[in-house]
Every structure is written in C-alpha cells, then in structure tokens.
Amino acid sequence: MRDFIARPEHGIVWISGASSGIGRALALKLAGEGYKVAVTAKSHEKLVELQAEASGLDGSIVVLDGDVTDAEDMEHAMASIEYEHGTLAMAILNAGIYLPVHAEDLHRADFEKSFAVNLSGVVNCLLPAIRHMKAKGQGQIAIVSSVSGYGGLPTGAAYGATKAALINMAESLKFDLDKLGIRIQLVSPGFIDSPATGKSALPMPALVSPEEAARQIAAGLKSQAFEITFPGRFTTMLKLARLLPYGAYFPLVNRLTGWRERPSSAGHHPATPHPAE
C-alpha cells in the first residue's frame, strides 16, 4: 500500500519557521499549488507580508503567530487549525537557527537556544500534530534537518547536534507512525543562499536558493521517498564521507574547509554559513 500523500483537498498544511528562507519560499510554492497553508513564526509583520504576497495564488495563507519554543503557543496554533480552519493534512516542521560554536570561546546560551528552537521546537509542534493526525487516521509530516546532521563540521557543535538528533527522531518515529497511517519524511538540504552565507569566507559548494529548495521539497513531498535531500551530488558526497574512518574523515573536512589553517576564533562570533537554515 502506498503511503499517504497530502493534496489540497485533504486539508491544511502547517509550516513552522515560515517568516524567511526555506519556510517562506515553501509556503508560497505550496499556496501556488492550491494548498491552504497555515504559517507560524514570531514575526507577525513578516507573516502578514507573506500572506499578502500569496493573495493572487490558487491557494491561501493563514497567519498563526507563535514561538516554537513555547509548547503552549504550538498547542494553541494546532487548536486554531483544527477548530477554525479545518483538518491538518501536513505539518512541515522547519523552524531553526544557526549559531556558530567555537571551542576557544564557548557560550552555554548558544547551545541552549539552538536546542530550544531546533530540537524542542520541533517536538512542540510534533506532539499536537501527531495527536490530531492519529485521530483522523492519516497525515503527513516533514521534519527539516540538514546534511550537517550527517557528521561533525567546523562551528557546528550546537547546530549539527540538533540536526543529527532530528534525523534519528524521524527515523525512529517512522516505525510507529507507519502503523498509524501517518507518513513521516526527513528533509536534509545542503547550503542555502541567505544573507548569512553571503558574509562568510568559507567555501559553500552547490549553493541553493530558497526558491529552488522549495521546489525540491515540494516535489519530494509528493514522492514516496523517506528522505528529501539536495543537491544530490553534494549530499551524497557528505554521506559517503561520513562512512570513512575518523583517521580519514577529519583530515578530509579540514582540507575541504581549510579550517586547520584558519586563525583562532576566540573572542568573536563570525557569521559562518551552514547547510540549511
């Protein structure tokens, strides 16, 4: 039996972290395909602008303000979808932040904030979404991770740890969700073009625009694939690199990034890019 694939007639698509980047581009892409999309973020003004931009599309956008780090906010968002807008057919859990971490100048706040948004923020959306879908007997969930979760990369001690956890979470939940009729997918993008990446001197191979990322994700959501990852050659290379023994993996990453030759980063937090946002 084929897994459930949400179509516009099935109900609402809920996207967290929709005020910018992949989330914003994906909301417009799906609204253009006729979906009714509920968008969540802390920035009310940016969500209202997004809603206005979608006014001429086949679908529509509904603004649901909320902070993913606040579990009560996400329960309220789910209740608003359920009682005011219709059935939740798909949840795309996308909200995330990237805070570079340098061992010479560690800050507890960088880890705590990263875990709160990237990991707990997903859980806060996931629980009410699954509860709703379980009652309906069907649904589709996409968790946006990153290829940074495949293996350790420079400055990614906080960000990469959260993304690795999301990969494991999606894989583990699939066993039970399959039996409930709820389809779960993992989204693992490579480097996404953004203002942050434009400020960095690090190499950014296979850079992808938010619009192209949205196109790839939208296509993947309609496929039977568990993982949606792009660009293919780059992400495959990173997966294969992680299979190397550590004695080869660390020198390879150092060579590709030039990290070992870089001066100490103590005392400042550079705007370093990382796969996904």
* Catalytic residue list: 159
Token code pair at residue 90: 């798909």
| Longest pairwise C-alpha distance within the chain | 57
Q: Which tokens in the block code for residue 118?
A: 């990237």
Beta-bridge partner residues of 16 = 40
| Token output for 144 | 């946006």
Q: Which of 187, 169, 174 is nearest to 223 (CA)?
A: 187
Name the residue with tokens 């980063």.
Answer: 265
Helices (H), 205-245: 210-221, 232-242
Quickly count: other Cβ atoms within 10 Å of residue 52's Cβ: 10
Place of tokens 């968002």: 77
Q: What is the rounded CA–CA span in Å between residue 50 and residue 148?
A: 28
Separation CA 260–CA 205 (nearest Å)? 19
Strand partners, 189: 230
Residue 98 token pair: 């990237």
| CA pair distance 126, 129, nearest whole angstrom | 5
